[in-house]
Amino acid sequence: MQTVKIVVTGPFNAGKTEFIRSVSEIDVVSTERKISSEVEKIKETTTVAMDFGRITVDNDLVLYLFGTPGQKRFDFMWEILSEGMLGFIVIVDSTRPETFREARSILETFRAYAPTPYVVAANKQDARDAWDIDDMRLALRLGPKMKLLSCVATNKEKVKSVLLELLYGILAEMEESRS
Amino acid sequence: MALKGNLRDFTITQLLNLINLAKKTGTLVVEGPGEIAKVMFRDGKLAFAIIEQEDNSLAAILQRNKKITASQCRLIKEKAGQMSDKELGLVLINAGYVSQNDILASLQQYFKNIVRRLFSWMDGFFRFDATEVAPSGKITVRLDLENLIIEGSRQLQEWEKLQEEIPSLEMALKFTERPGTNLRNINLSVEEWRVVSYVNPKNSMRQIARAAKLNDMEVRRVVYSLLQAGLVEIVRPSGAQYPTPIRMFPTNDKAEQKSLVNRLIDRIRSL
């Protein structure tokens, strides 16, 4: 049985867990802890280490989705993630511009660690106060060739689109390296 | 217990604070990137400082502060090379080249600049030697540390912010494609021009820093301002070595890899 991974990362409460939950065939195994700090009380729990989801492709192939917070203190996970990682997705909460700087930092950290393809997903695009995608591209300092995709992590079709764009990107890089 | 450790765990600002509050007397020795600094304190005040690899003579310090010319400095070293700084100071004052204030102001500036340089040292061993004092013949001062500590704290905050914005210096830079932007019309500092001259996807920021003789903080500061102005973007360097080898696919066969991705695409579409 072959296994491959896609890593889903991003700032606190960006929607990583929901993203994986939308497409995983298993209940998302989440290592969560109750929030003790008043400052972070946007939600009741937060992912401390990793979310874990699965999509069985066929008898010989399984795709695992790993959700990780992306902060520097989780560097130790790289050895686990580096084997069979096809690419990564950075989820950014479109309604919270105060998290854009952290999202940029996470993106740069992952880009420095891994030469694998990636996409950035602007989550919560259905929210009234979501930033426009073009404005987010500028705020996140994403070059014109970097994929920034509209996403609603609770919407399966939107999540599928993001995963497919990452896979198309992987195919495109394979074609490029061949030519 | 000996006051010693690594700057990774205890910053210069914290050390100065400790020395200030405890009113310590002695010498803080710090081993930085290719340099050793010695900063002497008396009763918690800054008294003297040197970087061992530099010319710390009074003549050199006065010349750097433009109180004497380069040729005067050379002459002093030839004729009065054996004199101590105290003796030389008296001679220069009596001869009317400099005043006492000139000497004290130059020394204070030099010592403060050494401490400011230490703020950008994020890694290196330090130890505090209560028995080591300023060499005899050297002129000492008496400077309060509070302002330097405040400066150091600001610089630390700036460092943390810069690290967040630019976490890795192993990445490279390239010019952004913005039609109508002409670099010649933009006012850049000397440091910024130096960095700009090395911008190339083949050069990592660390390589640029080395070539431009900038430390980690300085190159991050320059790159950050160029990023903010939209002049450059961070890219993966061509031919880079990554810290952890990534093996994307469970097979090395290219055809199998392509088939694997197509199977994934089909499966995701069918969800």
List pLDDT tens digits, range B34-58: 889 999 999 999 999 999 988 889 9
CB within 8 A of A172, min separation 6: which ones? Answer: none
Q: What is the pLDDT of residues B1-24, one digit of tens each?
A: 568 888 888 889 989 998 998 999
CA-to-CA separations, A64 to A7, A87, A166, in angstroms, rounded: 8, 12, 14
What does the pLDDT read at residue B11?
86
Kindly state whether residues B143 and B30 are assigned to the same domain.
yes
Place of tokens 């000492």: B140
Chain A residues touching chain B at CB-CB below 8 Å: 2-4, 23, 55, 57-58, 61, 63, 72, 78-79, 82-87, 101-102, 104-105, 108-109, 111-116, 141, 143-144, 156, 160, 163-164, 167-168, 170-171, 174, 178
For chain A, the domains span 2-178
Chain B residues touching chain A at CB-CB below 8 Å: 164-168, 170-171, 176-177, 227, 233-236, 240, 242-251, 254, 257-258, 260-265, 267-269, 271
Q: How many residues comprise chain A?
A: 179
User: Which contacts of A155-164 are long-range, i.e. CB under 8 A and separated by 24 or more positions?
Assistant: A155/A22, A155/A126, A156/A22, A156/A23, A156/B271, A159/A19, A159/A22, A159/A23, A160/A23, A160/B268, A160/B269, A160/B271, A162/A19, A162/A89, A162/A119, A162/A121, A163/A6, A163/A23, A163/A89, A163/B268, A164/B265, A164/B268, A164/B269
CB contacts < 8 A (A, B): 111
Out of B162, B181, B210, pick the residue that ends a domain. B162
Q: How many residues comprise chain B?
A: 271
The type of residue at B174 is: K
Mean pLDDT across B67-75: 88
Span between the terminal Cα atoms of chain A, in Å: 30
Kindly state whether residues B28 and B136 are assigned to the same domain.
yes
Cα B116 to chain centroid distance, Å, stands at 8
**Cross-chain CB nearest to A112 (options B168, B176, B264):** B168
Kindly state whether residues B65 and B150 are assigned to the same domain.
yes
Instruction: Say yes or no for a CB contact (<8 Å) between A2 and B257.
Output: no
Chain mean pLDDT for chain B = 87
- Cα-Cα-Cα-Cα dihedral of A154, A155, A158, A164, to 10°? 80
| A163 contacts in chain B (CB < 8 Å) | 268
Strand (E) or helix (H) holding B238: none
CA-to-CA separations, B256 to A6, B15, B249, in angstroms, rounded: 18, 58, 9
Contact A103, A90 (CB under 8 A): yes
Cα atoms found within 13 Å of the Cα of residue B267, Cβ hemisphere only: 21
CA-to-CA separations, B35 to A67, A74, B160, in angstroms, rounded: 43, 33, 23
Q: Regarding beta strands A85-93 and A2-9, do their DSSP bridges make them parallel or antiparallel, or are they unpaired? A: parallel
Kindly state whether residues B15 and B143 are assigned to the same domain.
yes
Q: How many CB atoms are closer than 10 A to CB B91?
A: 14
Q: How many CB atoms are closer than 10 A to CB B53?
A: 10
Query: What distance in Å separates the CA atoms of residue A67 and residue A8, rounded to the nearest whole number?
Result: 5
Kindly state whether residues B93 and B141 are assigned to the same domain.
yes
The H-assigned helical ranges of B137-215 are 146-165, 190-197, 205-211
Kindly state whether residues B139 and B189 are assigned to the same domain.
no
The CATH classification number of A2-178 equals 3.40.50.300
User: Which contacts of B149-156 are long-range, i.e. CB under 8 A and separated by 24 or more positions?
Assistant: B149/B13, B149/B16, B149/B17, B149/B20, B151/B116, B151/B119, B152/B11, B152/B12, B152/B13, B152/B16, B152/B115, B152/B119, B153/B13, B155/B13, B155/B116, B155/B119, B155/B120, B155/B217, B156/B11, B156/B13, B156/B119
| B261 contacts in chain A (CB < 8 Å) | 86, 167, 170-171, 174
Out of B162, B189, B215, pick the residue that ends a domain. B162
- Cα-Cα-Cα-Cα dihedral of B93, B94, B97, B98, to 10°? 20
> Which one, of A85, A141, A151, A150, lies nearest residue A118 by Cα?
A85
Tokens of residue B81, six digits: 């090379």
Chain mean pLDDT for chain A = 84
Q: Please report, for the domain that includes residue B223, its CATH number.
A: 1.10.10.10
Residue A34 predicted with pLDDT over 50: no
Q: What is the pLDDT of residues B187-233, one digit of tens each?
A: 888 888 889 899 998 999 999 999 998 888 889 999 999 988 888 98
Kindly state whether residues B142 and B224 are assigned to the same domain.
no
Place of tokens 């920034």: A148
Kindly state whether residues B235 and B252 are assigned to the same domain.
yes
Task: Find, in chain A, the residue whose alpha carbon is nearest to that of B230.
Answer: A141
Q: What is the pLDDT of residues A110-154, one digit of tens each?
A: 888 778 899 999 999 999 999 999 989 988 988 888 999 999 999
Query: What distance in Å separates the CA atoms of residue B175 and residue B216, rounded to the nearest whole number?
Result: 21
**Cross-chain CB nearest to B246 (options A57, A115, A170):** A115
Kindly state whether residues B126 and B71 are assigned to the same domain.
yes
Out of B118, B138, B162, pick the residue that ends a domain. B162
Residue B244 predicted with pLDDT over 60: no
Instruction: Say yes or no for a CB contact (<8 Å) between A57 and B166.
Output: no
**How many domains does chain B contain in total?**
2
Q: Which domain holds residue B270?
A: 166-271
Q: What is the pLDDT of residues B117-126, one digit of tens each?
A: 898 888 889 9
Instruction: Say yes or no for a CB contact (<8 Å) between A4 and B170.
Output: no
Query: What distance in Å separates the CA atoms of residue A40 and residue B161, rounded to the nearest whole number?
Result: 20
Kindly state whether residues B141 and B195 are assigned to the same domain.
no
Burial class (CB in 10 A: 0-12, 13-18, 19+), A46: middle
Mean pLDDT across A25-45: 60
Kindly state whether residues B157 and B181 are assigned to the same domain.
no
Instruction: Say yes or no for a CB contact (<8 Å) between A114 and B244.
Output: yes
> Which one, of A117, A28, A23, A27, lies nearest residue A68 by Cα?
A28
Residue B245 predicted with pLDDT over 60: no
Kindly state whether residues B129 and B194 are assigned to the same domain.
no
Tokens of residue B226, six digits: 């160029």
- Of A63-72, A107-116, A154-163, B241-250, least confident by mean pLDDT is B241-250
